[in-house]
């Protein structure tokens, strides 16, 4: 097993290579505006550090969100393209699940919340019973609207850092890690568990909209 994991659903451009037992190499850069510029060089760097060729990869793991429209699709298109060219499967995982799994590695055990920045003064979030068990589907809400539902729980992710009034017990990790995503995928593959399709989990309409009324610029 040799899994190449990527995730661009958050400001983190994160890539990792996992052999089914441990992470061989990883790259993590936080830049919300340069997903398209940073992802492929990060893949090259990770493969070079591990000393393997892309052709050796046996599966692609990708975070499917939730996340903003533009950044999220960079990772999904790249993952699907790699899978198609290599003739290997692509395994989709919820980005929040990757953060939850990383939180477990950082020491969180009991119920907690994962919250990432959804912009527009909102967060993508979900509650977890433990690092492997999400309770319910991911959602997007204004932090104040979910304050009672997350009260008293530790929280991880950038959303928790941005809104300390709602998430006073913010903990590591803040950003997504493809290494954690790959480790979770390896565990799920060994257990024969199902994966999500490599399609985006947006939860709301994209920020960019087609204008309803075009401005006339030609002479009447």
pLDDT in tens, 33-46: 999 999 999 999 99
For the chain, what is the mean pLDDT?
Answer: 93
Query: Strand (E) positions, 44-191?
Result: 59-63, 90-93, 112-119, 122-130, 133-141, 155-156, 170-171
| Cα of 144 vs its chain's centroid, Å | 23
* pLDDT for residue 218: 61
pLDDT by residue (tens digit) across 97-117? Answer: 999 999 999 999 889 999 999
* pLDDT for residue 100: 98
Among residues of the chain, what percentage have pLDDT more than 70?
93
Whether the upstream peptide bond of residue 66 has omega within 30° of 0, thus cis, is yes
Both tokens of 98, joined, read 């990757």
Closest by CA to 146, choosing from 130, 170, 162, 122, is 122
Whether residue 149 has pLDDT greater than 70: yes
Whether residue 209 has pLDDT greater than 70: no
Give the range among 16-20, 32-36, 93-97, 189-193 with minimum mean pLDDT: 32-36
Mean pLDDT (whole number) for 201-216: 62
H helices, E strands: number in the chain: 6, 10
Order of all β-strands in the sheet with 133-141: 133-141, 122-130, 112-119, 155-156, 170-171
Q: How does DSSP classify residue 37? A: H
DSSP 3-state of 145: helix
* Cα–Cα distance for residue pair 54/4, rounded to 1 Å: 9
* Cα–Cα distance for residue pair 166/176, rounded to 1 Å: 21
* pLDDT for residue 145: 97
Give the range among 22-31, 48-57, 64-73 with minimum mean pLDDT: 64-73
Whether residue 197 has pLDDT greater than 80: yes
């Amino acid at each position: 097993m040799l899994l190449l994991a990527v995730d661009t659903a958050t400001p983190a451009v994160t890539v990792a290579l996992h052999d089914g037992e441990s992470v061989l190499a990883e790259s993590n850069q936080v830049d919300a505006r340069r997903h398209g510029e940073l992802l492929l060089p990060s893949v090259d760097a990770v493969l070079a550090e591990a000393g393997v060729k892309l052709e050796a990869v046996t599966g692609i793991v990708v975070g499917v969100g939730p996340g903003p429209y533009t950044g999220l699709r960079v990772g999904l298109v790249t993952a699907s393209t790699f899978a198609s060219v290599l003739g290997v499967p692509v395994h989709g995982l919820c980005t929040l699940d990757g953060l939850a799994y990383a939180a477990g590695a950082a020491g969180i055990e009991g119920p907690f919340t994962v919250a990432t920045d959804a912009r527009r003064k909102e967060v993508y979030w979900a509650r977890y019973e433990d690092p492997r068990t999400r309770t319910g589907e991911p959602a997007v809400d204004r932090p104040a609207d979910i304050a009672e539902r997350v009260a008293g729980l530790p929280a991880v992710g950038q959303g928790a850092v941005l809104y300390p009034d709602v998430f006073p017990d913010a903990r590591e990790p803040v950003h997504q890690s493809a290494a954690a995503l790959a480790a979770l995928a390896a565990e799920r593959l060994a257990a024969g568990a199902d994966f999500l399709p490599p399609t985006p989990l947006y939860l709301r309409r994209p920020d960019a909209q087609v204008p309803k009324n075009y401005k006339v610029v030609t002479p009447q």
